[in-house]
């Protein structure tokens, strides 16, 4: 097993820290100053969107968080998970993984989930982007989480240190573009990587209701647009339950 090593993760202008074990790299990064990257060999209480648990066995994956001050209006920060998704997909595609994006914050290969993104922020534009990636198979995990999974090691022999460095460099570049131009800096690229483009989706909304429609890209604020029988609808928060040919 390759070990994480802060000295092997070169990210200009960013302090890199590696911890053996922690509850959540996002929690540590929220307490830190801006421009720090914290990676962990093992997370014991990692989480995804809306409190879901992120499973992270020791040495089996990548979990890291980047803290950065973002100079955009607070109302635009909801789009950061989309920006981070594009950055991670760029880096992983360059390493040979055919990654696509599932709205709003998943990285997928085919039907398998490769990783996820959790963005959290504090007052004053201090944002933390947490990224979790599955690297090697761990027996029983897919049954535990109840979904198909994909693994970075199936596509590249790059070390975890190199993968973190590559993703972090792309993430910093994407965040800088977001600061200059907002979500428009990556919206077209996100849509080109969308795993469900043109497919009929069933989406569970935040209030528990479901809505169905054909995926039609993102609106200007990062909401998922669906062409429904009642017309175009923007979904700002929800979970894609199923996707099929339109």
pLDDT in tens, 39-61: 999 988 866 555 555 556 777 89
Its sign, for the CA torsion 169, 174, 175, 180, is positive
Specify the pLDDT at position 2: 86
Contacts of 164 (CB under 8 A, 6+ apart): 4, 9, 37, 39, 62, 64
Q: Half-sphere exposure of residue 234, counting CA atoms within 13 Å on the CB side? A: 7
Task: Tell me the pLDDT band of 74, cut-offs 50, 70 and 90.
Answer: confident
Task: Tell me the pLDDT band of 24, cut-offs 50, 70 and 90.
Answer: very high
What domains can you pick out in the chain, each with its CATH number? 6-192 (3.30.930.10), 196-245 (2.30.30.100)
Q: Provide the percentage of residues in the chain whose pLDDT is more than 70.
A: 93
How many other β-carbons are positioned within 10 Å of the β-carbon of residue 36?
19
Q: Provide the percentage of residues in the chain whose pLDDT is more than 90.
A: 80
Specify the pLDDT at position 142: 73
Average pLDDT of the chain is 92
Task: Tell me the pLDDT band of 104, cut-offs 50, 70 and 90.
Answer: very high
Give CA separation, 241 vs 13, 81, 103, in Å.
40, 19, 11
The span from the CA of 27 to the CA of 120, in Å, is: 9
Rg (CA), the chain: 17
* pLDDT tens-digit series, residues 134-170: 998 877 677 677 789 999 999 999 999 999 999 999 9
Token pair for 77: 């920060």
The span from the CA of 54 to the CA of 47, in Å, is: 5
Please report which helix (H) or strand (E) contains residue 224, including its range: strand 224-228
The span from the CA of 166 to the CA of 79, in Å, is: 21
Judge whether 100 and 194 are in contact, CB under 8 Å. yes
């Amino acid at each position: 097993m390759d070990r994480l090593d802060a000295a092997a993760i070169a990210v200009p202008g960013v302090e890199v820290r590696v911890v053996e074990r922690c509850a959540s790299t996002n929690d540590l990064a929220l307490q830190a100053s801006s421009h720090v990257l914290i990676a962990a060999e093992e997370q014991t209480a990692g989480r995804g969107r809306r409190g879901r648990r992120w499973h992270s066995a020791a040495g089996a994956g990548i979990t890291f968080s980047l803290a950065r001050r973002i100079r955009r209006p607070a109302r635009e920060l909801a789009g950061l998970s989309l920006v981070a998704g594009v950055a991670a997909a760029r880096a992983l595609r360059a390493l040979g993984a055919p990654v696509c994006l599932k709205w709003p914050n998943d990285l997928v290969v085919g039907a398998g989930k490769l990783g996820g993104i959790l963005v959290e922020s504090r007052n004053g534009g201090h944002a933390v982007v947490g990224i979790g990636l599955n690297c090697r198979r761990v027996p029983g995990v897919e049954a535990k989480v109840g979904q198909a999974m994909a693994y970075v090691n199936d596509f590249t022999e790059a070390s975890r240190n190199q993968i973190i460095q590559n993703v972090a460099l792309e993430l910093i570049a994407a965040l800088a573009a977001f600061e200059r131009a907002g979500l428009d800096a990556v919206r077209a690229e996100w849509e080109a990587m969308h795993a469900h483009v043109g497919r009929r989706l069933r989406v569970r909304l935040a209030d528990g209701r479901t809505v169905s429609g054909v995926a039609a890209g993102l609106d200007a604020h990062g909401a998922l647009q669906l062409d429904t029988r009642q017309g175009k609808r923007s979904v700002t928060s929800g979970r894609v339950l199923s996707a099929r040919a339109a």
